[in-house]
Homo-oligomer: A and B are copies of this chain.
Amino acid sequence: MQFSAKQVAGILGGTIEGNDEVMVSSLSKIEEGKPGSISFLANPLYTQYIYDTEASLVIVNDNLELSAPVKHATLLRVPSAEKAFAKLLEMYNQIKLNKSGISPQAFVSDKASVGENAYIGEFAVISEGARLGKNVKIYPQVYIGDNVVIGDNTTIFAGVKIYSDCVVGSNCIFHSGTVIGSDGFRFATGEGAQKIPQIGNVIIEDDVELGANCAIDRATLGSTILRRGVKFDNFIHIAHNVEVGENCYFAAHTVVAGSTRIGKNVMTSGQVGIVGHLQVADNTIVTAQSGLSKSVTRPGEVLMGSPAFDANKYRKAFVHFRNLDGIVNRLTEVEKQLKNKV
């Protein structure tokens, strides 16, 4: 799609400076702007780029003061360039993702129900007893198992697999390769690891976004639960019977073992591990590659290390660790002096 500068001003408001007929069809950063693209300038550190950028249209703040002529770009002055651009991004995204209709090459069980205005792509499978809400977007090659429930406006990208009996809220987004409801990793010990049937499910509340290639295991009994607003990066592993509280935010390759209960607003950096059967208080922060091995009872702690403890203490200990050779040399020197005194 192409828009003229004038049409963009019609959508976002603001005042045009320059050629209002210039056409734009893509978005760019101001320092990488190409003809035909639209960009924005909000951070004063980037003002230097406005004069030479090849972007055809740049959204700027009303109060921007120029110290030289702008060579190529038409400007659109608005009260907040950042907000206007965010609005534009969202519109662009909505247009890009505006798939609709049920592909004749999808499989939809005649015992499934699909809400109005749904999109179901090629080679997707909607199994018996599944119930899909309104405006749901199911991309190609997605698998929705028996009796799965999906709330309104949820988008599920190509190839996601959701096992039977799981429940998904509204306004969720799941990225490709993510698996929801696979069996928990539990085997009775003793001679030959006997499989314990995993007959619970996964419940995912509203406004949850899961990155690519995550795996959320079903509960043995009961439910593995992701509360409202949870956001996961790629490769997150959530074991059976875990509960993740509202608005938790886990970076890539975070692993949570079975039956752990995590409070609200907990943040992990990449490659964090959390062992099973813990309670983790609200607002806990775990730094990259750390391993939480004990429950956290005081909200807001920052933890580091494997096993993890207070991050400030960890950093202090690590400074000494780096210098251990020097410390041992000091100790050896002390021993020598003591010996000489004897």
Contact = CB atoms under 8 A, between A and B. Distances in A.
User: How many copies of this kind of chain does the complex include?
Assistant: 3
Interface residues of A, number: 99
Interface in A86-114: 86, 89-90, 92-93, 96, 103, 105, 107
Interface string A128-140: 0000000000011
A116 interface: no
Interface of A: 27-29, 32, 86, 89-90, 92-93, 96, 103, 105, 107, 121-123, 125, 139-141, 143, 145-146, 157-159, 161, 163-164, 173, 175-177, 179, 182-183, 185, 187, 192-193, 195-199, 207, 209, 211-213, 215, 217, 221-222, 229, 231, 233-235, 237, 239, 247, 249, 251-253, 255, 257, 269-271, 273, 275, 288-289, 291, 293, 306-307, 309, 313, 316-318, 320-325, 327-328, 330-331, 334-335, 337-338, 341
Contacts of A209: 183, 195
Contacts of A322: 309, 313, 317
Contacts of A328: 320, 327
A173 to B, nearest CB: 8
Given A193-B231, A195-B209, A255-B271, 5 more contacts: A105-B107, A185-B251, A257-B270, A289-B291, A321-B321
28 contacts: A29-B221, A89-B196, A122-B125, A141-B159, A143-B158, A143-B159, A173-B183, A177-B179, A177-B215, A179-B234, A182-B211, A182-B234, A213-B215, A215-B234, A217-B234, A233-B237, A233-B239, A235-B235, A235-B255, A237-B253, A252-B255, A253-B255, A288-B306, A316-B324, A317-B321, A320-B327, A327-B331, A334-B335
Given A141-B141, A313-B322, A291 B288 contact: yes
Given A187-B231, A309-B322, A199 B141 contact: no
Closest 9 CB pairs of A and B: A320-B324, A212-B215, A161-B176, A93-B197, A143-B158, A182-B212, A179-B212, A185-B233, A89-B197
